Structure 1
Amino acid sequence: AHKGAMGHALVLGGATGMGGAGLLAAEACARLGAGKVSLATDPAHVAASLIRRPEVMAHGVRGLADLGELPQRADVLVVGPGLGRGSWGQAMLQAALAAERPLVVDADALNLLAERLAGQWRDDWILTPHPGEAARLLGIGTADVEADRPAAAQALQQRFGGVVVLKGAGSLVAGPAGLAVCPCGNPGMASGGMGDALSGMLGALVAQGLSLEMAARLGVLVHALAADMAARQGGERGLLAGDLASCARILVNPTMDEDDAVATR
């Protein structure tokens, strides 16, 4: 095997002041086995990326001209973590949609879809809304989504195509094969950055050749199980999204066990 055989994922995210989201997604993507991970982010965040995870190829991008051919070089694009809704985020989303690559769409990319591109329908994307984002995409209230989560997940999949992950307690995955529910996870996951980590994990699995639906089901499960493992090690209170990547690495390497966690850090 070589790194080219394990796929190349590009994370587009981290507008000014929100660089951590893109870094979390890129690190989780690398830990789940993507052969190459690139990050297109605001130039102010490149130094932090190199310090935190030098294996990620960080590119300072001020606009479309700086983005160049990066989307075409990747096998899958993760767009949304820390994207923002300003002109920078809009440009990154438009570039991702035009790249003709499988997409993982999260966070403000979903809000931009709801605000500006509601008619989009694709077979080759995974949408990962939380209930508030799902409500905006469907044009209903958040309470309506929560009142019937399975119906909301299926409605999103029928309206936008691809695969939909409706996040929350008992995350749901809706795809062409039907509806699945994740039975794992814990309240410690109610902290910032958890969705960014999930989107990076999904991108890694798609990059390695899994179908979108299998990648979504497996990624949601690994994400939740990693959070449960991290909670066992240190407790639910204070659980951080950055704690998940090393635990997820153990889970996707079945010859390892939880006692080997220290060796992966």
Structure 2
Amino acid sequence: MSVNRAVLPATLYTAEQTRVLDRTAINEFGIPGIRLMQRAGHAVFAEMLERFPSVTAITFLCGAGNNGGDGFVVALLAKQKGFDVQLICIGDEHFSAGLQGEALAAWEQLQAIYPTYELYRPGMSFRGALLVDAMLGTGLSGHVRGAFRAAIEQLNASSKPVISVDTPSGLCADTGRVLGVAVRADMTLSFIGMKRGLLTGEAVDYCGTLLFDDLKVPDDVYEAIPVNLFRTTDDDLRECLPPRLKASHKGKFGHLLVIGGNRGMGGAALLASEAAIRSGAGLVTLATRAEHVVASLSRCPEVMVKSVDSGAHLQPLLEQADVIVLGPGLGQNAWAEQMLAAALAVDKPMVLDADALNLMASKQLFTQYDRHQRARWICTPHPGEASRLLDMTVLEIEHDRFSAVEKLQAVCGGAVVLKGAGSLVSAGDASYLCNGGNPGMSVGGMGDVLSGICGAFLAQKMTPENAARIAVYVHAKAADAVAQSQGEVGMLASDLFLTIPKVINGKYE
């Protein structure tokens, strides 16, 4: 029976948690470690045959740990099938003496069939048409140095396709950070536990096609390891947005108020408003500057638009609304401050985005509101806004996005979205990752669309936690649908308006 390794699991693990899974399978369930290593090697070899059918010569670069052991297994299988194998080991003349456990057993099995290997020398020839990276795996803690660095740089400089075993060497499996230098793989096959760092940050440019194999580890092994990070999937979307009852009416799906669109920034609030109505909110009102009213009505007459000049003018609209989205195109002048103060004075579910977050950070306002009120909020910072909220640099945020989103949630309360490649959502006890989306989303207005979707889901009675994670997923998947039909470059935020309902209604797979 064929295995679809392209389907990634929903539960995500750190490298240490994966090692615990491995030890649990071996020590408590009696699965020999060498058998797991052999299964890993067979999985890599099967994908290699399927994805690179014309290759006849393969170069293996192996370290002395278990990652190298996996490589030895694949090299043995390749040799037995008649491939031209070049085995390059990263180390000195005592390389084999440093092997232990399963890696040593795999080495001895390979040496019995194919005793030829070379020690890596900078600039040496990689003869194979396909390169296999089995150098470092998940055990790396500091930056890559010495022969490993030279081998990775040479591998990346080649024009040949690369398969990474478990994790691209040089990539932190916990954070997705490049530790000085990392292999840029065309395909990565990860084992036993899906490493969280492979799905966010810099890692998305290094893993290539990401695959997974659980190596037939029993479900009971996974149930023994507590986890709090999950990948959002179609199943979550269907669970949180079930089909509507036939007797439904607009009053059942909430009244959302979008506040924003300061002078020169009217488009942001228009995008958020239309995204909300496209995402199923029953009623959407836009409170904006007077000069944007005509444009809004022309753009989307389904949105009720009101001009507001002050916080006092906003008050009746706040009383009518069930949920508030504050921030798209808000600005940071006196008008913006009045809008913020008026919105914060009512205790209603709220999405805080863009300049609302910047104002909150500059005035240190989060600490002025109790946990009960903040528990009803969704905050959606990009890394720049997150850096201001946490008083950290953007680089520090990006080096460990998982830690950053947890810190953001501690500051902001409720649910927090840290936008970027592999967007993260934290609600305190649990966090979520969305591995959808594409570079075409790197354009102005995409964040405004996301805030509108978040608000619409809050209006439909989702919890902030579910509204945030499902909104991020729908947003990414709608953008992927656009990219599939027209490509990534030139995508507009408003292009998502026709695909958002298709994703929500299960019309796009």
Residue 67 of structure 1, CA deviation: 1.3
**Percent identical residues:** 54
Is the CA contact 1:162–1:175 (under 8 Å) kept in the aligned structure 2?
Answer: yes
Is the CA contact 2:410–2:428 (under 8 Å) kept in the aligned structure 1?
Answer: no
Question: What secondary structure sits across from 1:126 in the alignment?
Answer: strand
Residue 161 of structure 1, CA deviation: 0.9
Partner of residue 298, structure 2:
51
2:272 to 25, 29, 41: 25
What residue identity is the alignment partner of 1:205?
Answer: F
Residue 179 of structure 1, CA deviation: 1.2
The CA deviation string for residues 44-73 of structure 1, in whole angstroms up to 9 with x for no partner, is 000000000001000011112321311121
User: Unaligned regions of 5+ residues in structure 1, if any?
Assistant: 259-265
Matching of residue 173 in structure 1 with residue 425 in structure 2: yes
Residue 80 of structure 1, CA deviation: 0.2
What residue identity is the alignment partner of 2:331?
Answer: G
Partner of residue 182, structure 1:
434
Matching of residue 106 in structure 1 with residue 358 in structure 2: no
Q: Distance in 1 between matches of 2:429 and 2:330?
A: 30
What residue identity is the alignment partner of 1:252?
Answer: I
What residue identity is the alignment partner of 1:189?
Answer: M
Residue 99 of structure 1, CA deviation: 1.4
Q: Distance in 1 between matches of 2:489 and 2:332?
A: 31
Residue 118 of structure 1, CA deviation: 4.3
Give the superposed CA RMSD.
1.1
Higher RCO structure, 1 or 2 (CA under 8 Å, sep 6+)? 1
- In the TM superposition, 1:18-167 aligns within 5 A as 18-116=265-363, 117-121=365-369, 122-167=374-419
Q: TM-score normalized by structure 2? A: 0.50
What residue identity is the alignment partner of 2:289?
Answer: D
What residue identity is the alignment partner of 1:85?
Answer: Q
Is the CA contact 2:266–2:292 (under 8 Å) kept in the aligned structure 1?
Answer: yes
Partner of residue 460, structure 2:
208
Q: Distance in 2 between matches of 1:118 and 1:124?
A: 13
User: Unaligned regions of 5+ residues in structure 2, if any?
Assistant: 1-247
Q: Distance in 1 between matches of 2:298 and 2:288?
A: 15
The CA deviation string for residues 145-199 of structure 1, in whole angstroms up to 9 with x for no partner, is 1111110100011122111000000000000331111110000000000000000
| Pair 221,257 (structure 1): closer, same or farther in 2 beyond 3 Å | closer
Task: Decide which structure has the larger Cα Rg and report it.
Answer: 2
What residue identity is the alignment partner of 1:45?
Answer: H
Q: Distance in 2 between matches of 1:68 and 1:158?
A: 30
The CA deviation string for residues 182-228 of structure 1, in whole angstroms up to 9 with x for no partner, is 11000000000000000000000000111110111100000000000
Higher helix share: 1
After superposing the two structures, state which structure 1 stretch, 216-225 or 156-165, moved more: 156-165
Partner of residue 488, structure 2:
236
Is the CA contact 1:118–1:137 (under 8 Å) kept in the aligned structure 2?
Answer: no
Q: Distance in 2 between matches of 1:95 and 1:86?
A: 14
Q: Distance in 2 between matches of 1:68 and 1:100?
A: 13
Q: Distance in 1 between matches of 2:340 and 2:416?
A: 18
Q: Distance in 1 between matches of 2:368 and 2:482?
A: 37
Partner of residue 131, structure 2:
none
Residue 141 of structure 1, CA deviation: 1.1
What residue identity is the alignment partner of 1:119?
Answer: T
Q: Distance in 2 between matches of 1:57 and 1:210?
A: 23
Question: What secondary structure sits across from 1:119 in the alignment?
Answer: helix
Count of aligned pairs: 257
Is the CA contact 2:415–2:427 (under 8 Å) kept in the aligned structure 1?
Answer: yes
Partner of residue 261, structure 1:
none
What residue identity is the alignment partner of 1:145?
Answer: I
Q: Structure 1: which 4+ aligned runs deviate by more than 4 Å?
A: none
Residue 31 of structure 1, CA deviation: 0.3
Is the CA contact 1:120–1:160 (under 8 Å) kept in the aligned structure 2?
Answer: no
Q: Distance in 2 between matches of 1:246 and 1:120?
A: 40
Residue 257 of structure 1, CA deviation: 4.3
Q: Distance in 2 between matches of 1:42 and 1:159?
A: 31
